[in-house]
Structure 1
Amino acid sequence: MAPLRSGAQGLSPVTLLCCVTLAVWLCCGAHTEASVLNLKRFIGCAVREFTFLARKPGCGGLHVTTDACWGRCETWEKPVLDPPFIESHQRVCTYNETRLETVQLPNCSADVDPSYTYPVAIRCDCGVCLTSTTECITLV
């Protein structure tokens, strides 16, 4: 009996399956591991997918996936002659452009509006921390 052959250059189905599995692992699996390593070293600001639990009193919660700003920005300090003797340049990853989206929360009481509005990041940049869009720590 002749061996079973696939159409891909005379490889057996088992060999072809092994080759495809290896190719997928090398392309996708290795890429995922490399991406995680790159994120640990990433300096900058980017839009990333983020999931949170949207809640408000009188309604049930709803898991929402949106785009948010994420990253680490370069900061530096330099000594100066006048008090406080340090000039700080502390930049944060912050929203530069957003749009608002609204979802309807489940199981709301009759007297509660089920609408929940949240921002979706369109563009993020490293910049000065603005309390209007970002939670900033100003005193330690």
Structure 2
Amino acid sequence: MHLHPLSPSCLLLLLLVAGAAEVCVALTTTLHGFRGCAVREFSFVAQKPGCKGLHISTEACWGRCHTWEKPVPDPPYIHRHHRVCTYSRIRHMTARLPGCQPNISPLYHYPMALHCHCAVCSTQDMECETF
């Protein structure tokens, strides 16, 4: 494993937030090798019936979290503990979609990630069908 030296400013930031369990990832770290949960730029096309699409760039949660399954002798025979990378703090954003029909609101609401963490999948704000 090849370690990259931290710059003085990154080292200072790492020391300041170590107690809060924040991670300072060097710019040379590849996303393929990253483990954990972080805020990352994300682009998508906002669409809804009766309006034209709009390209939006925002911040979203991205990463890989440690999960486990434990055998259980009685049905359902397994205890699942699936942690996923999800929002811990968000800012509610609103965009105005172009070309909407007169009876359609042009407003499109979406979350912008401010901070992310690994947490158990919750059907309140994400799709968990596969878990």
TM-score, structure 2 normalization? 0.71
Bigger fraction of residues in helix: 1
Between 1:55-64 and 1:130-139, the stretch displaced more is 130-139
Separation (CA, whole Å) in 2 of partners of 1:84 and 1:111: 49
Superposed CA deviations along residues 5-48 of structure 1, whole A, max 9, x for unmatched, are: xxxxxxxxxxxxxxxxxxxxxxxxxx97x44xx31122211111
Contact 1:94 1:133 in 2 (8 A): no
Asked if 1:86 corresponds to 2:86, the answer is no
Shift of residue 134, structure 1, vs aligned partner:
1.3
Bigger fraction of residues in strand: 2
Aligned partner of 2:102: which letter? A
What is the aligned partner in structure 1 of residue 108 from structure 2?
116
Aligned partner of 2:104: which letter? V
Separation (CA, whole Å) in 2 of partners of 1:110 and 1:83: 54
What is the aligned partner in structure 2 of residue 5 from structure 1?
none
Aligned partner of 1:90: which letter? H
Separation (CA, whole Å) in 1 of partners of 2:79 and 2:106: 47
Asked if 1:100 corresponds to 2:92, the answer is yes
Superposed CA deviations along residues 71-126 of structure 1, whole A, max 9, x for unmatched, are: 11001123344443433221111111111111111111122111111111111110
Bigger radius of gyration: 1
Aligned partner of 2:121: which letter? C
Separation (CA, whole Å) in 2 of partners of 1:115 and 1:122: 22
Residue identity over aligned pairs, in percent, reads 56
Aligned partner of 1:47: which letter? V
Separation (CA, whole Å) in 2 of partners of 1:56 and 1:112: 9
Superposed CA deviations along residues 43-69 of structure 1, whole A, max 9, x for unmatched, are: 211111100000111111000011111
Long gaps (5+) in structure 1: 1-30
Number of equivalent positions: 106
Separation (CA, whole Å) in 1 of partners of 2:128 and 2:108: 24
What is the aligned partner in structure 2 of residue 74 from structure 1?
66
